[in-house]
Structure 1
């Protein structure tokens, strides 16, 4: 029974390449433009970011999806989309567009749900009785969780690839992923910025599980075999 369920989970899509990475980048850019330079959307960003009050108390169940396409400022948008362009295109070519999009969305949604669970456990919210539907202490926007997941997938698919940090220092992709994971873990407890480090860590973790469960690939085993040679 378990093997039958697993075989269904791992049933592959028919390969096709549709430039989904560029489409996702375009959607993010359009959403940012609509919210920051037009009045075409009558509701505020609060409804599309993910936060405890909106998701838990007001049943805004679309937030785990929509928060991935919202960004706080142009720098946030630019660097997220730059990372998606660099790594997403290669991952999409390797996996096919359908698999890539499913991984991107699954990892992003689960990372958002994990983060809102953390915020709920920490009490990082408040309910407003004023003229607004709700207010919040912590709200999450951005595609970082999904993009960190794509970075891990890249390091698994191309474990011998070297990424040039600051365009100068060549670092093997698996080492870069491990280094980022350590930095994010430490920053979660020591950093004072508004960066959602737990979302980045969740992106790594859920991408790891996606590769393991959906694709039958153990990232640790792949990296261990590479460095043994």
Structure 2
């Protein structure tokens, strides 16, 4: 077993504290620390950082922290603590930004339907806050599925270290491409150079279709993987060393 490295140890400790402490203290930090849609009144720019330390359930934090330890440990041993943390937070911040950009694109597509139906911005926000189109004649312009989608985009915050962990996973695959990996529901070992692209393609498929199960931020995963790939590829190509 890999001995836990300093940076990863501290990340896990902070994540565990922010998962357990609010439950004991009966605090709901979602509106403050989770990443909200920018038009939502609960949005704060700091949430691009803090959402990485929030988790929705025990399995959520368990799998993320396991992935951070399993795939991040050899990277921190190779890069050193400071550079690993720079990489980790870069991937996590990039994941949040790309997730927001994709949500904005989806949001604006439906938002324009409201505007074309004769509503103004205040009307649309009022509808989203109330969760109902009552009092507004938009039924012919907006389907129930479209309303459910824009309502979800507006209200559903993103939580978790998954974006950053996907960046770590991609970097692991670049540096240790022949390492054998497996999933609990598919326990057949596959080389990282095949396994990781398959996972990312799965996120892309589920993110662009209606087949996703639960509220998984697939484009945050893809965003973290993309930023992680860019940084790790550049470092590897330029023979990045610990300074």
Range of TM-score over shorter length? 0.7 to 0.9
What does residue 237 of structure 2 align with? Answer: 217
TM-score scaled by structure 2? 0.71
Question: 1:93 and 1:174, CA in 2 relative to 1: closer, same or farther beyond 3 A?
Answer: same
Structure 2 CA distance for aligned equivalents of residues 143 and 31 of structure 1: 12
Matched-pair contact (CA < 8 Å) for 2:36–2:44: no
Matched-pair contact (CA < 8 Å) for 1:163–1:170: yes
Q: Of the two structures, which has the highest relative contact order with CA contacts closer than 8 Å and spacing of 6 or more?
A: 2
- CA distances 1:158-203 after superposition (whole Å, capped 9, x unpaired): 1221123338422111111111111111111232421011111111
Matched-pair contact (CA < 8 Å) for 1:84–1:147: yes
- CA distances 1:4-63 after superposition (whole Å, capped 9, x unpaired): xxxxxxxxxxxxx96111110111000011222214x6x731111111147x76661100
What does residue 225 of structure 2 align with? Answer: 204
Instruction: Determine if the alignment matches structure 1 residue 107 to structure 2 residue 91.
Output: yes
Equivalences, count: 194
**Shift of the alpha carbon at 1:138?**
2.2
Structure 1 unaligned residues grouped into runs of 5+ = 1-16, 219-229
**Bigger radius of gyration:** 2
Question: 1:95 and 1:34, CA in 2 relative to 1: closer, same or farther beyond 3 A?
Answer: same
Matched-pair contact (CA < 8 Å) for 1:19–1:89: no
Instruction: Determine if the alignment matches structure 1 residue 116 to structure 2 residue 100.
Output: yes
Structure 2 unaligned residues grouped into runs of 5+ = 112-123, 131-151, 239-243
TM-score scaled by structure 1? 0.76
Structure 1 CA distance for aligned equivalents of residues 36 and 43 of structure 2: 11
RMSD of aligned residue pairs (Cα, Å) = 2.6
What does residue 225 of structure 1 align with? Answer: none
**Shift of the alpha carbon at 1:212?**
3.4
